[in-house]
Amino acid sequence: MTGFGDFAEHYSGYNTARVALLPVPFDKTCSWMTGASKGPEAILKASYYLENYDIETGEEVYRKGIHTDAPIVAETSQEMIARVSARVAELTQDGKFVVTLGGEHSISQAPVNALVERYPALSVLHLDAHGDTRDEYEGSKYSHASVMARIREKVTNVVSVGIRSIEAEERKVLDPARTFFAYQIHDSYDWIDQAVALLNDPVYVTIDVDVFDPSELPATGTPEPGGLRWYMVMKLLRTLSQKRKIAGFDVVELSPTDHKASDFLTAKLIYTFLSYISHDNAWDF
């Protein structure tokens, strides 16, 4: 597996890097199209074609150092969660800002488990087409469809954005004051300040790429029509970085196909969000 970005080795070494990317090519509980295990490698390959200057912020965030850690491979959900949690804790202890690359969405509970131990007041911003709040799915409490149920056992303040597919029982779990359904927000930016105001420092961000409309990102395991567009998602992330401190984030559920634009969008999402966080000093707390 390659590293992130086409820049000099000085900027990717562990000792000098401010950012650590942790690939987790795990895909054991997907319920429709598989392939998310190939997502991390596709992101890293696409990152070589990024321009390293961010127009909006004027940042060249790679100069802060972006190290790609060894991928974590596991056979079971419990093993994966334990290993990823332990590694995120180690990386954070070493002063790294950790970005976890999925893999299916079930991986997200692992960095949350690690960070909530360090930051008990942690809140979570959840970008997704799906609620993912079923107590269990297909007999597993660790399914990608249950990840937010597990996270909510650790974190009391969760804000969900872009949701447009749930089961009836999930409607009872989702707090209407902290859930921004896609049909309510797709044609306006007015809700963004409200969503960010609901979160407290520090914030962990979990981004399932199916939050995007399939016309922009079709390469995901469970695409849903009516999704958010690039500039809306990025406006939310920029506002968050300007107003809150950010403890880490993950990007999950890229399921690569021949549609390489999806891989590139995901790599650019990561690099641009890091540019925002660096420029706004949202990781300094």
29 pLDDT more than 60? no
For the chain, percent of residues with pLDDT exceeding 90? 87
Average pLDDT of the chain? 94
**pLDDT for 128:** 98
The mean per-residue pLDDT over the stretch 44-65 comes to: 97
- The backbone torsions φ and ψ at residue 53, rounded to the nearest 5 degrees and listed phi first, read -105, 130
Please report the pLDDT score of residue 234 as a whole number: 98
- What pLDDT, on the 0 to 100 scale, is given for residue 137? 64
Spell out a b/e string for 46-71, using b for 16 or more CB atoms within 10 Å of the CB, else e: bbeebebebeebebebbebbbbbbeb
- Give me the percent of the chain exceeding a pLDDT of 70: 95
Positive or negative CA dihedral for 125, 130, 142, 264?
negative
Q: Is residue 247 pLDDT above 80, yes or no?
A: yes
Instruction: Determine the average pLDDT of the residues in 38-55.
Output: 97
What is residue 145's predicted lDDT score, i.e. its pLDDT?
A: 79
Sheet containing strand 97-102, strands side by side: 66-68, 19-24, 97-102, 246-252, 203-208, 123-127, 158-163, 179-181
What's the pLDDT tens digit per position in 165-218? 999 989 988 999 999 999 999 999 999 999 999 999 999 999 999 999 999 999
CB of 71 within 8 A of CB of 24?
yes
Q: Which residues pair with 99 in a beta bridge?
A: 21, 249
Instruction: For residues 237-247, give the mean pLDDT.
Output: 98
DSSP string, 33-86: ---GGGHHHHHHHHHTTS-S--TTT---GGGG-EEEPPPP--SSHHHHHHHHHH
**Dihedral over Cα of 270, 271, 277, 283: its sign:** positive
Q: Average of pLDDT values for 119-133?
A: 96
pLDDT at 2: 83
Residue of 47, 107, 137 lying closest to 251 (CA atoms): 107
Residue 195 and residue 115 in contact, taking contact as beta carbons nearer than 8 Å: no
pLDDT of 31 > 90? The answer is: no
Answer yes or no: is pLDDT of 143 > 80. Answer: no
- Whether the pLDDT of residue 89 is over 70: the answer is yes
Task: State both tokens at 21.
Answer: 């990317």
**Which of 7-11, 130-134, 186-190 is most confident?**
186-190
Q: Residue 98: pLDDT band by 50, 70, 90 thresholds? A: very high
Say whether the peptide bond before residue 103 is cis (omega within 30 degrees of 0): yes
User: pLDDT confidence of 139, banded at 50, 70, 90?
Assistant: low
Chain segment 249-271, per-residue pLDDT in tens: 999 999 999 889 999 999 999 99
Please give the Cα distance from 98 to 183 (Å, whole number).
32
CA distance 22 to 71: 6
Under the banding of pLDDT at 50, 70 and 90, the label for residue 33 is low
